[in-house]
Amino acid sequence: MPDKPLSILLIEDNLALAKQVCRFVEGLGWQVDFADKGKQGIALATSTAYDVVVLDLNLPDCDGLTVCQEIKSAQQRVTPILMLTARDAFEDKAKGFMSGTDDYLTKPCDLRELAFRCQALARRPTLHTNTVLQKGKLCLDTKAITASFDGEVIKLTKVGFQILHELANAYPSPVARSDLITTLYNGELPESNPLKSHIYNLRKALSQSGSSLSLATIGSIGYKLEGVDDV
């Protein structure tokens, strides 16, 4: 297998199967951590960066669906989850995907297929995107859609958050109006041209937040975020 060695978390209460999986992936040069209970798995998955979590549904202390949901909701770095379970009915698979799993493999399985599926999940860069953007004292959480500066919450509308995120992501460079339009309206500006109104409201929200943040208009280009590094 040509891909780089992976770091795997296996959450499985069948000790014989867990030992088999661990031996196989370690033979590939991969690192594997193991938990035989759901709560232990959640603690590991939310405190350590893994490439993939392999999760059983039938766990002694809680259902795997709950484990999946808690891992996904608690993480900043979103790690892909592969459910490995004997539940093969369509309804079970549907519940798994609705709970946030990224892939589903039924037991018994060929461990070579398990390894290939783990590699495929690990290659999906968007699954590893950090949901928190930190620029100076500005913190933006794209999962919770919240913004704060030096720990103080900035009250924003959803559109205001989108604009601020684009500006913070580009900081210290400006963002063209056309790029903001593409982000907000898929490149098609409505007849009423609401961008100006959203910029006005964002400026007002930043001013009322008590932070040093402000928006500068850069000629005919667009807008630039300022005050990010101010104390």
The matching CATH number, chosen from 3.40.50.2300, 3.20.20.140, 2.40.160.10, 1.10.490.10, for 7-128 is 3.40.50.2300
pTM score: 0.57
d(CA 176, CA 158): 20
Torsion over CA: 155, 157, 160, 165 (sign): positive
pLDDT per residue as tens digits for the range 13-23: 899 999 999 99
C-alpha angle with apex 12: 65 to 124, nearest 5 degrees? 65
> Rounded distance, CA 67 to CA 62, Å?
7
Q: Which two tokens stand for residue 190?
A: 């409505």
Token pair, residue 102, equals: 């990224």
> Tokens in use for 10?
């296996």
Fill in the amino acid letter for 61: D
CA–CA gap between residue 72 and residue 214 (Å, rounded): 33
Q: Is 189 exposed, middle or buried (0-12, 13-18, 19+ CB in 10 A)?
A: middle
> What tokens appear for 24 in the block?
């196989």
Q: Which two tokens stand for residue 67?
A: 């484990």
Q: How many CB atoms lie within 10 A of CB 192?
A: 8
* 168-225 residue pLDDT tens: 988 888 999 888 887 776 655 566 667 888 999 999 999 999 899 999 999 888 999 9
**40-44, 128-132, 181-185: segment of lowest average pLDDT:** 128-132
Domain boundaries, the chain: 7-128, 132-226
Rounded to the nearest 5°, which phi and psi values hold at 141? -110, 105
189 touches 143 (CB < 8 A): no
CATH class of 132-226: mainly alpha
pLDDT, one tens digit per residue, over 69-125 is: 888 877 656 788 999 888 878 888 888 888 888 888 888 888 999 999 999 888 875
What residue spans of the chain are helical by DSSP H?
A: 15-27, 38-45, 64-74, 90-98, 111-122, 158-170, 177-185, 195-208
Q: Which two tokens stand for residue 91?
A: 């309804």
What does each C-alpha distance from 163 to 10, 16, 207, 220 come to in angstroms? 39, 52, 15, 18
CB–CB of 138/115 below 8 Å?
Answer: no
pLDDT value of position 231: 45
